[in-house]
Amino acid sequence: MGVNTSGGHPAMDYAEHNRTYANFLGWAKVIIVFLVVLLSGMAFFLV
C-alpha cells in the first residue's frame, strides 16, 4: 500500500506506523484462516 507521507507531521514515525499496520493485516489473515479451518473441522467432525 503506497501512502504519500510528504505532507505529514514531522513528529510522526510513518515507517513504524506502516510496519504496525502490515503486522496487523498479517495477523488478521492468519486468524481468519485459522477460524475457517476450525469451523470447517467442527462442521465435519461434530455433525
pLDDT digits (tens, 9 = 90+) for 14-41: 889 999 999 999 999 999 999 999 999 9
As a whole number of angstroms, the distance between CA 3 and CA 5 comes to 6
Residue 10 lies in a domain: no
Residue 31 lies in a domain: yes
CB 5 within 8 A of CB 14: yes
Residue 39 lies in a domain: yes
Range of the domain at 38: 15-47
Domains contained in the chain, number: 1
pLDDT at residue number 1: 61
Residue 3 lies in a domain: no
Residue 9 lies in a domain: no
Residue 33 lies in a domain: yes
